Amino acid sequence: MLRTSYPTFRSLVEKGELVRVAGAHDALGGVLAEQAGFNAVWSSSLEVSAARCLPDASVLSMTEYLDAAANMQKALSIPVIADCDTGYGNNLNVVHMVHEYERAGITAVCIEDKLFPKLNSFAGGDQTLLSTEDFCGKIAAAKAAQSTDDFFVVARTEALINGLSVDEALERAHAYVDAGADAILIHSKAKTKDEVEEFLSRWDGRRPVVIVPTTYPEWHVSDITKAGVSVVIYANQGLRATVTSLREAFRTIRQDGDSTALEGTIAAVTEVFDLQNLKTWQTLDA
């Protein structure tokens, strides 16, 4: 059934405990993340694009990303934070984005300081940044456009992705806070957590910090908390697990000629019915 009540993302962050977030691209993935105990769901632009077999390169429209995030939020009792790339264009696009995401019940968005159209951070190619001044304008536009105090804007700096220094990342992060950002996402594609740890050790705690430990997965949540992180996003592990599981399942059926070998390891149809809340729906037709 449609969920109508859930905490805002801001309320989770303000509790002062580590907010653990799982990436998803549809309501089913979001519900499974909630059942696993995650505090929120990241509507991942990589996952939403990949679900269409399209690159994460600003190919899909804002409306297509919004539909994915809204469909997740409808099914969840935890908040969705939407990965909104660069805000889908200039300041006017950012204002429109905030209006539409707020109307859809999304309480948090994240925008990044790369040029539009942008390319996924882990892909080879141009990762040129927007100027600090221009991105501050986007943040200010987003905050001015929101209609409730609860709406939460995360400013993501790709300085480290672009090969710039931690000094540059810090300088940008402080400017983004001055422009009104509610939190800073510091992103890195390094194989270790070192540069993110350095950023955290030099950050003054003016705003919460969000990390996405895709390339440094060994960082345990207890140590992440000690380092001063407020939000950790496991942005694409669910998608990658799905690819592996489906590939193996389909290979097994094709190779064996039947699905017998899988039946003990895959979900029963009744579990799918439970995820669909089928019994609740059936009572409406009793």
Tens of pLDDT along 56-80? 999 999 999 999 999 999 999 999 9
pTM score of the predicted model: 0.95
Query: According to the model, what pLDDT value does residue 5 have?
Result: 75
Instruction: Tell me whether residue 56 is one of the annotated catalytic residues.
Output: yes
Radius of gyration of the chain (CA): 20
Best CA proximity match to 231, nearest among 186, 286, 172, 277: 186
Of 56, 83, 113, 182, the catalytic one is 56
Which domains can be identified in the chain, with CATH numbers? 9-235 (3.20.20.60), 245-283 (no CATH)
2-5 contacts: CB < 8 A, separation 24 or more? 2/74, 3/73, 3/74, 3/75, 3/76, 3/77, 5/77
Half-sphere exposure (Cβ direction) of 5: Cα atoms closer than 13 Å: 0
Tens of pLDDT along 74-111? 999 999 999 999 999 999 999 999 999 999 999 999 99
